[in-house]
Amino acid sequence: MTLNFRGQVHSGRLIVNEPIDLPDGSEVTLSVVEDGDELDDEDRARLHEAIRAGQAELDRGEGIPATEVIAKLRAG
């Protein structure tokens, strides 16, 4: 079973943001997930340019409706 919760560390203790429906004494494993990504400045600039170019295509009416893309993917 996998449950995902968000929380913060305060005074060396993990405080979970939402209630957890587990019995008292349950053993849990915590994994620290690094926020952010592994993009360098050049990769990030290319990503942002691709996003801008894609938005410009949509603004010009050149996009493909998601329902059409999904139908093509399902058709194989």
pTM value? 0.45
Q: What is the pLDDT of residue 70?
A: 95
CA–CA dist 57, 19 (Å, integer): 44
pLDDT digit string (tens) for 3-59? 888 888 999 998 888 888 889 999 888 888 777 788 899 999 999 999 999 999 999
Cα–Cα–Cα angle for 63, 69, 73, nearest 5°? 155
40 vs 47: CA distance, rounded Å? 11
pLDDT at 10: 92
Say what the pLDDT of residue 34 is.
Answer: 76
